[in-house]
Structure 1
Amino acid sequence: MTTQTTQTQSAPARANAVGVARSRVEGVEKVTGAARYAGEIPFADLAHGWLVLSTIARGRVRAIDEEAVRALPGVLAVLHHKNAPRVRDDVIGGLGRPDPIVEVFQDDRVPHAGWPVALVVAETSEQAREAAESLVVEYEEEPHDVSFGADRPGTYTPEEGEAAKGDLEAELAASHVVLDASYTTPEQHHGAMEPHAVTVRWEGGRLEVFDSNQGSKWVADDLANLFSLDLSAVRVRSEHVGGAFGSKGLRAHHVAAVMAATELQRPVRVVLTRRQVFATTGYRSPTAQRVRLGADPDGRLRAFAHEHHNLTSTMREFVENGASYGRSMYEATAHHTAHRVLPVDVATPTWMRAPGEAPGSFAVESALDELAERLGMDPIALRVRNEPTVGPVSGLPFSSRNLLGCFEEGARRFGWAGRDPRPRTRREGRWLLGTGTAASTFPSGVAPTTAAVTAEADGTYTVRVTAADVGTGARTALTLIAADALEVAPERVRVRIADSDFGPAWVAGGSMGTRSWGWAVQAAARDLRERLPLAPGDIPAEGITARTDTTELIARLSAKERYSYGAQFAEVAVDVASGEVRVRRLLGVFAAGKIINPLTARSQFTGGMTWGLSMALHEEAVRDAATGGHVNADFAGYHVAANADVPDLQAEWIDDPDPDDPVGIKGIGEIGIVGTAAAIANAVWHATGVRHRDLPIRPDRVLLGEARREETGPHA
């Protein structure tokens, strides 16, 4: 008995936490409703603000009839350009200049439809909405232009918008097969489950903000600079976020709420409607892309050219970096990629899940499939033939690259070897069946972050880092990373996040969040472990804290190309009589570094793939040229994939740690969407024999393609 007791006490306290599937640490709070979101924080004396958006696309505000609205029940204030506080117009934050929409109520100009022109504040949300919808605004309207296309006058090349090596035209002329094709993707929106919301209190000379965002320190610093406050005078918390995908940074509703809270000297909440979200929080620009490929008979690429067009606002340049996708993917003797931008009278686009890579991969991976068809090659074999050993344009070594391993494992799981490459050969009743594949990649970045870990007197540990869990499971992943670094069970670790008072940290964006935060947390935890006294009882009541800043650690990283990779496989069924496309199977296999929590990681991969399906078949924001506004700014008109759209969805991964990262993470939040739309489009071609180069692949487009095929033959 004594021997058994001794063995038990000397055994390890826990197994490794990283790599073991774990439910979210805040899961019970969320499913029981205990988790408070930005629009639910209780405050006494809370007032409610409601934005009024412009109904014209360009012009000036001539008059605002605020007196009638001020007389309505409960109305406390009407803020607009004639009475609102002044803000700075020269703020450059941690992620560059904020969207100019944050310079709200500063003058009478209206640069696009949906521009905020007033905020009505009342005792209740219902009173604020009724008053806002009653507010009469008169405009001096000017001619506007919201149309977009690849050949529009005014298109320009942004700074550092091109990358090239070799003589493109000479290599195209020397190629055995040349493909020259154009592709388009429409305007797309983030559609987070939780609409944007903020609750603001100004008290004791300090601004306290409860927000739904992707980086509390980022928002806090931008607000401080915008209102000329000391950085320490602003605290932003965003503990629970119901989705973000790139849209939840500093926006007009933040600034309007701060203005109201400081003017009224009481807490103010602003929650956007779904239509207001569409109008004011950014979107993915539509794109027009041209891909030119030239190849030898064996499939070796002599020429690779990708020209990518997007629109931006007249207020600020935003580049959807779709042409960057091919710069790291395929070797070619001549390699030319370029971005082109067209300013028009619309809101400024912003980052949206896999910005650049999502639309860029659709064009490039579709073009490669077309080239494989013309060469009579298997699409995977064509990609293997052009696998680079170093960066095709940069010449830099890869930190690690296992794209071919993804294709090998994916082909095995999907049953690719038994595929008949001929299109329109499989039929099941009224359905034509087809399969397709595409590659995916996304940069693996890391940014400086601070973190603190405290050993508490009760034997637990508290981690503090200004991370943001936007639904990815980051809080749980950080718990596991800290537990392993401290060599304790995860149950003894409490992770506190999303509080700007915890110090600078990278945002939840660019698939860099968990890698950046995890590196800082691990370093602080290891430092703390070395400083702990031998006897747990010697820890003082205030605890022992170790802090770290990874700026110097990251600066030592060698110059390499760092990416996650994946292979996407799709099987579709197409009814050419109705135009309906059904995705029957989706499989993604990824090489994305060390997987911290398999449970939430699989959710991230499959969530991205579902979004890729939605991009391929459904999502399309439509603007009315006459008004400049959206005609489908709600979930009735803006269609997204639903549960029934994907009956069989699988995500797997292969071993692929980053040797330069002590945590081994590469990033997984965005790669799932990359390549998925192309794999589905390639499968639709295989099913029907018709190429679809314009997204989404709507039923009417399928029917038109079928009609053209019947008129001109199968090779049209």
Structure 2
Amino acid sequence: MTQTFRMDKPQPRLLDETRQGVIGTSMDRPDGPLKVSGQATYTADALPEGCVHGMLVRATVTRGHLRDIDRDSIADIPGLLAVVRDPRFLRNPAQGMAGEAPDQPGDRIDYHGQPVALVVAETFEAARDGALRLKLRFDSVAAEVDPDHATEVEPQDPTESGDWNAAWSGAAHQVDVVYTTPCHASAAMEPHAAVAEWQGDRLILRGALQMLRFNRKELADAVGIPPEQVQILAPYVGGGFGSKLGIGTEAVAAALAARELGRPVRVVMARQTVFDAVLRRTETRQHLQLAADAEGKLLALGHDDRVSNLPGEEFAEPVSSASQFLYGARATRFRQDMVRVHRVGAGSVRAPGEAVGVIAIEAAMDELADALGMCPVELRLRNLPDQHPVTGQPFSARALADCLREGAKSFGWSDRQAPGARQEGDWLIGMGMASAARPNMLVKSAARVRLSAEGAVVETDMTDIGTGTYAVLTQVAAEMLGLPPGQVTVKLGDTDLPGASGSGGSFGASSSGSAVFLAAKKIRDRLAAKLGCAPEDLSLQDGLARGANLEAPINDLLAGEVLVEEAEIKGGKTAESHFSAGFGAHFCEVAVHRWTGEVRVRRMHGTFAMGRVLNEKTARSQAVGGMIWGVGSALHEDMSHDPRTGHVVTRDLANYHIASHADIPRDMQAVFLEERDDFANPLQSKGVGELGISGAGGAVLNAIHNACGVRIRDIPATPDRVIAALEAAGR
């Protein structure tokens, strides 16, 4: 039986002593050649024999009940097999999956575009046409879709410390502002897809999913079978950003239809369905209050926010998460109001909380620096707390001050001029900066490692959603076992393998990597015994084992034996005693056109400290990708809804604007500072996937102000808003 390792104390830095020299390098992805040549099989690519096609049918009312489906309306379509109406895949926010009886909560419509049925046909085209033509009858009732005017508001109890009134009233400088952000869509490159096949009473699902250990239980519950009768396969996932954390309608619908028909069923969401029916990031209204003394020390810090979700849903965007530990103040106040509206449900989108909350707090800090006449970098340096201001925990490792100083130096921050002072023709040039922060987590994860004369095999149901899991786990195993990376094979995305943390929350690489580390460490201990040395004296490099003045090829020690070890890790006392987070600093230069309001990002620099870097190349890709998303959030992204129905208007990538190549400068740099976090995990690593987006948009907004002297508080900073702000300021 596998023993579970708990993180109850700081860990020794074994990876600083190993000699293979693989960990931390910019090793290419082992799966890269398959992906660029089109040979990597994503969910919708691998079709079992006899597979048929399903297309989701969506509600055309905002709120009410599905009364009837007119199956005869599409009976003339050649190859039509079935119209599946099962309340188990109708979203029921209040009660989860509903019962089977009609007119029960499972038949309830909670938002426009909600999937209500599945048309299955021999061909994709027939299924698509059937879904478009199928006639539905609804009983519709009034719905509230506008969060600004909704009547159902649930206030949460505020988190407070210190004497707010005294701190606020006694300040030399105050900032009291409101920032708003719109809804965001994940819109991963690979649409949501599932291929379901039954083999007797066993369900095999190929799915575009992020967290298989959890998804297996969700799917089993939805279709009414034990989890051990479900196998999920997801060797390659084309992005997720939180939208594929849980089982979706496409997976449940495919599974139920496949069981009903006795044939494999493939369901792929159209891009418009992804926007209509997949969890969005909520819009936010954020009230920032900052007060400081004449020297720039924060006396009061308040960050209140309003978010929305469907009635009954528990998720609430943690908007002020980073604001609660980035800076210290004598008095703090954080409060959230939840508004209930009938829009598609809100959930996790890349860096939930930080992606939108840090934009606002960092823009407000810039406003305070402006009021003080102080350098924005210096203001932040003066207000770094010695411990978590809310919990009182010491930081496990925090290099934010180093990121601010090193980033400013590398970027050339000292060349920054007063707002509006730098011009190049009709372009106004400005610089802005912002801090970055993202809490670090360790999630229970297991892995199995096999070592034989042929090399090592790593097995875990961990997923690779484009972040580089195949590469990172290869490097961990190769480093620990003294093997070239080419002798390590990583098998992922199969729930028959040991259950991993899954990909999400920036915890995937560290959690699953720690499980691989611990399993490989057990093998190292067995090799040390075979060599005749203490485990701490063992050195493995290029297939050779050395220790206690002894040396032998690893294969000789194996003598034909296959060493197999499995390990599981979970959080422990270190998560209670210390607060672990990644930190960084963004610096940005923009050009603002004085007549059109167009904003161009000319260069951007991010300096990050997130523990040990496991793969330089994949980490940089994640950091730069986050920074690009931050630019898009600041300048482009706006998931708009019809004010009458709540229906998503910007339903595809033609209308939902994201940053393109022309919007991103070539000079986009991500630099990593040397850091180890002994309280985080045995690898001393922390997540980077969401740290890069945190604060990036704030740096862009602050650069716009430095360029032209106006503040854009309703995000994104589109040309019309920039022009309106310039006109209002008489510029």
1:550 partner SS: strand
Residue 153 of structure 2 is matched in structure 1 by 155
Instruction: Report whether the alignment pairs 1:80 with 2:85.
Output: yes
Aligned 8 A contact 2:88 2:100 in 1? no
Which letter maps to 1:440?
Answer: A
Residue 617 of structure 1 is matched in structure 2 by 635
Aligned 8 A contact 2:448 2:498 in 1? no
1:494-530: per-residue Cα shift (whole Å, max 9, x none)?
A: 1111111113221211110001001110000110222
Separation in 1, partners of 2:91, 2:480: 43
Residue 691 of structure 2 is matched in structure 1 by 671
Separation in 1, partners of 2:96, 2:578: 30
Shift in alpha-carbon separation, 1:400–1:147, aligned structure 2, 3 A: same
1:677-709: per-residue Cα shift (whole Å, max 9, x none)?
A: 110000001111101111100010011011101
Aligned 8 A contact 2:92 2:106 in 1? no
- What is the CA-CA distance between 1:141 and the residue it aligns to? 1.8
Residue 566 of structure 2 is matched in structure 1 by 547
Residue 342 of structure 1 is matched in structure 2 by 339
- What is the CA-CA distance between 1:42 and the residue it aligns to? 2.6
Shift in alpha-carbon separation, 1:612–1:441, aligned structure 2, 3 A: same
Of 354, 357, 360, the residue aligned with 1:357 is 354
Residue 711 of structure 2 is matched in structure 1 by 691
Residue 612 of structure 2 is matched in structure 1 by 594
Instruction: Report whether the alignment pairs 1:468 with 2:467.
Output: no
Which letter maps to 1:146?
Answer: V
- Within 5 A, what are the aligned runs for 1:567-646? 567-646=585-664
What is the RMSD computed on CA atoms of the aligned residues? 2.3
- What is the CA-CA distance between 1:87 and the residue it aligns to? 9.7
Which letter maps to 2:470?
Answer: R
1:582 partner SS: strand
Which letter maps to 1:570?
Answer: C
Shift in alpha-carbon separation, 1:152–1:368, aligned structure 2, 3 A: farther
Shift in alpha-carbon separation, 1:685–1:175, aligned structure 2, 3 A: same
2:470 partner SS: helix
Q: Which has the higher contact order (CA 8 A, sep 6+)?
A: 2
Aligned 8 A contact 1:236 1:499 in 2? yes
2:618 partner SS: helix
**Identity fraction in percent:** 38
Q: Which moved more, 1:293-302 or 1:652-661?
A: 652-661
Separation in 2, partners of 1:470, 1:580: 34
Separation in 2, partners of 1:101, 1:585: 55
Aligned 8 A contact 1:145 1:625 in 2? no
Of 702, 708, 712, the residue aligned with 1:682 is 702
Separation in 2, partners of 1:650, 1:284: 27
Long gaps (5+) in structure 1: 1-11, 92-96
Shift in alpha-carbon separation, 1:102–1:682, aligned structure 2, 3 A: farther
Aligned 8 A contact 1:56 1:628 in 2? no
1:448-504: per-residue Cα shift (whole Å, max 9, x none)?
A: 111110113x43111111211100111101110111111222111111111111132
- What is the CA-CA distance between 1:181 and the residue it aligns to? 0.2
Separation in 2, partners of 1:528, 1:90: 47
Which letter maps to 1:32?
Answer: S
Residue 6 of structure 1 is matched in structure 2 by none
Aligned 8 A contact 1:315 1:348 in 2? no
Residue 551 of structure 2 is matched in structure 1 by none
2:260 partner SS: helix
Residue 498 of structure 2 is matched in structure 1 by 503
Shift in alpha-carbon separation, 1:78–1:571, aligned structure 2, 3 A: same
Aligned 8 A contact 1:88 1:225 in 2? no
Residue 677 of structure 2 is matched in structure 1 by 658
Instruction: Report whether the alignment pairs 1:186 with 2:182.
Output: yes
Separation in 2, partners of 1:102, 1:642: 45
Residue 114 of structure 1 is matched in structure 2 by 113
1:556-581: per-residue Cα shift (whole Å, max 9, x none)?
A: 65511100000000100001211100
- What is the CA-CA distance between 1:85 and the residue it aligns to? 6.6
Shift in alpha-carbon separation, 1:223–1:180, aligned structure 2, 3 A: same
Residue 379 of structure 1 is matched in structure 2 by 376
Shift in alpha-carbon separation, 1:482–1:102, aligned structure 2, 3 A: farther
- What is the CA-CA distance between 1:140 and the residue it aligns to? 1.9
1:308 partner SS: strand
Separation in 1, partners of 2:180, 2:97: 25
Which letter maps to 1:388?
Answer: P
1:384-431: per-residue Cα shift (whole Å, max 9, x none)?
A: 1111111111111000111010011111111111222x2101000110
- Within 5 A, what are the aligned runs for 1:435-514? 435-456=431-452, 458-514=453-509
Aligned 8 A contact 1:101 1:252 in 2? no
Which letter maps to 1:118?
Answer: A
Aligned 8 A contact 1:99 1:316 in 2? no
Aligned 8 A contact 1:56 1:627 in 2? yes
2:511 partner SS: helix
- What is the CA-CA distance between 1:321 and the residue it aligns to? 0.4
Separation in 2, partners of 1:86, 1:701: 41
Aligned 8 A contact 1:102 1:252 in 2? no
Separation in 2, partners of 1:292, 1:667: 30
Separation in 1, partners of 2:175, 2:78: 66
Shift in alpha-carbon separation, 1:107–1:662, aligned structure 2, 3 A: closer
For these two proteins, the number of residue pairs brought into alignment is 687
Separation in 2, partners of 1:603, 1:103: 49
- What is the CA-CA distance between 1:233 and the residue it aligns to? 0.3
2:407 partner SS: helix
Aligned 8 A contact 2:18 2:480 in 1? no
Aligned 8 A contact 2:88 2:99 in 1? no
Instruction: Report whether the alignment pairs 1:276 with 2:276.
Output: no
Residue 394 of structure 1 is matched in structure 2 by 391
Separation in 1, partners of 2:213, 2:663: 38
Instruction: Report whether the alignment pairs 1:518 with 2:513.
Output: yes
- What is the CA-CA distance between 1:538 and the residue it aligns to? 7.1
Shift in alpha-carbon separation, 1:619–1:101, aligned structure 2, 3 A: farther
Shift in alpha-carbon separation, 1:90–1:579, aligned structure 2, 3 A: closer
- What is the CA-CA distance between 1:308 and the residue it aligns to? 1.1
Separation in 1, partners of 2:705, 2:663: 19
Shift in alpha-carbon separation, 1:492–1:675, aligned structure 2, 3 A: same
- What is the CA-CA distance between 1:315 and the residue it aligns to? 3.4
- What is the CA-CA distance between 1:643 and the residue it aligns to? 0.8
Long gaps (5+) in structure 2: 1-16, 532-553
Aligned 8 A contact 2:150 2:340 in 1? no
Shift in alpha-carbon separation, 1:261–1:544, aligned structure 2, 3 A: same
2:588 partner SS: strand
- TM-score, length basis structure 2: 0.91
- What is the CA-CA distance between 1:539 and the residue it aligns to? 4.9
1:500 partner SS: coil
1:61 partner SS: strand
Residue 45 of structure 2 is matched in structure 1 by 40
Shift in alpha-carbon separation, 1:404–1:49, aligned structure 2, 3 A: same
Residue 137 of structure 1 is matched in structure 2 by 136
Separation in 1, partners of 2:258, 2:221: 17
Aligned 8 A contact 2:53 2:124 in 1? yes
1:677 partner SS: helix
Shift in alpha-carbon separation, 1:129–1:360, aligned structure 2, 3 A: same
- Within 5 A, what are the aligned runs for 1:411-450? 411-420=408-417, 422-450=418-446
1:663 partner SS: coil
1:231-269: per-residue Cα shift (whole Å, max 9, x none)?
A: 210010111011100000211111111110111111100
Shift in alpha-carbon separation, 1:705–1:13, aligned structure 2, 3 A: closer
2:205 partner SS: strand
Which letter maps to 2:627?
Answer: M
Separation in 2, partners of 1:699, 1:99: 44
Aligned 8 A contact 1:473 1:600 in 2? yes
- What is the CA-CA distance between 1:148 and the residue it aligns to? 1.4
Residue 239 of structure 1 is matched in structure 2 by 235
Aligned 8 A contact 1:183 1:288 in 2? yes
- What is the CA-CA distance between 1:531 and the residue it aligns to? 2.3
1:693 partner SS: coil
2:53 partner SS: strand
Separation in 1, partners of 2:116, 2:187: 24
